[in-house]
Every structure is written in structure tokens, then in C-alpha cells.
Chains A and B, each alone.
Chain A
Amino acid sequence: ILNVEQSPQSLHVQEGDSTNFTCSFPSSNFYALHWYRWETAKSPEALFVMTLNGDEKKKGRISATLNTKEGYSYLYIKGSQPEDSATYLCAPEGPGTYKYIFGTGTRLKVLA
């Protein structure tokens, strides 16, 4: 896995808005996908790990889907809150190596 793209790079939303971002990766050479939330000056926090095409995971107001055939994952946040402000990173993992390849992240700012 060489090229991981996340879009948008950054976005601002109003409190209460729902939002989503995309992680794109080569559909071949894929084993698992990890999502992290990274607040400034803190450790990245693991949100989800997904492996199967069609996987859907949910944690509170945050959910994620995975399409391994076309090589993308969506992260959704329902009813954004200021505490959701963070950089969201995705990291596909290649088979055999079990190494993460990180995207540059989507920086979310939720305005109160």
C-alpha cells in the first residue's frame, strides 16, 4: 500500500451538524483498516479496525464503513460536538507486513 488519501484535508462545521470524510487506498494489497482520532497534544486514540468488505462499525455518534473492492472507507460523525474537534487518521494495513500506512488526516473543527 503506497498511496493513502484522506479528504477533505480540513473542515469546519457547526455544532449539531453531521459530517463525513473519506479515506482512499489501493484496493489490492489490503488486510485491514484502522481509524484514529488525534487531539492536539494527546495520543492518537484508536476508533475502529475493519477488515471485511461492507464492514460497518459504530462508537457512540461516530461510525465507519469499509469498501475493500473499490478501496475506500467513510467516517461519519452524527451531531458534531466541539469535543469532536480533532484530526482523524486512517491507516490501511498491508497483508503479511501488518504495517500501518497513514494518510495525512482530516482536521475537523466543530464550532460552538
Chain B
Amino acid sequence: GAVVSQHPSWVICKSGTSVKIECRSLDFQATTMFWYRQFPKQSLMLMATSNEGSKATYEQGVEKDKFLINHASLTLSTLTVTSAHPEDSSFYICSAARGTGGSETQYFGPGTRLLVL
């Protein structure tokens, strides 16, 4: 159990277009979902935390108008990169947790590699 899918796994887009990435918990209900970004040779960096039915909480330095997060159900969260630019090229990965408390295990998707031309 605790499988998280992410789609698409790869996306190439032109500068100025928007890209939507989906994150689904397949066999459990995710109270909380997280979105991370990883640049080459760096660690996974938390971008935002979202709870079902409420607005996402963004980390310092992450533009909420640039990275739109929707957590419409207990099994689906989406990240939309609006008006993507080459500097947004990165690896994006989501995770989902059953609860909201401490020491809760996050279950990760396989990630999405975004290349903006």
C-alpha cells in the first residue's frame, strides 16, 4: 500500500506556456500533499504544503502565482507552472501523507522532469 503516482514523468514545453503536473495517492487518502523541487546536485527542496480543500502554504521564496497548487480531493493534487521559463526547468516531485501530525511518513511519487525551451 501507499502508492503515489505522478504524471507526466517528462515534459518539454516552450517558454511562456503553462504546465500541469498531477499527483495521485492510489490506495490511500492523503490529508496532506507536498511539492518539492530538485536542481542538479542539490537536495529536494520543499516548495509548498497543501491540505485538501484549503489553500496551499508556500515556502519562502516560492511564488504562489507562478506555482499554482490545487488539492481538490483526498487523492489528487496538481501543480501548475504558469508561464514557464527556462529557469523553471527542474525535477518536481510530490509526496502524500495520511495525517498531519509529526513523524508522519510521506509517500513519494516518481517525479516529473520539466524542460522549458
Contact = CB atoms under 8 A, between A and B. Distances in A.
B103 A49 contact: yes
Contacts, number: 51
Interface size, A (range) = 20 to 34
Nearest to B111: A43
Given A31-B103, A49-B105, A89-B44, 4 more contacts: A32-B102, A46-B106, A89-B43, A98-B102
Interface of A: 4, 31-32, 34, 36, 41-44, 46, 49, 51, 89, 93, 95, 98-105
Contacts of A105: 43
Interface centre among A31, A51, A100 (most CB of B within 10 A): A100
Interface residues of B, number: 24
7 contacts: A31-B103, A43-B111, A46-B105, A49-B103, A98-B103, A100-B106, A101-B46
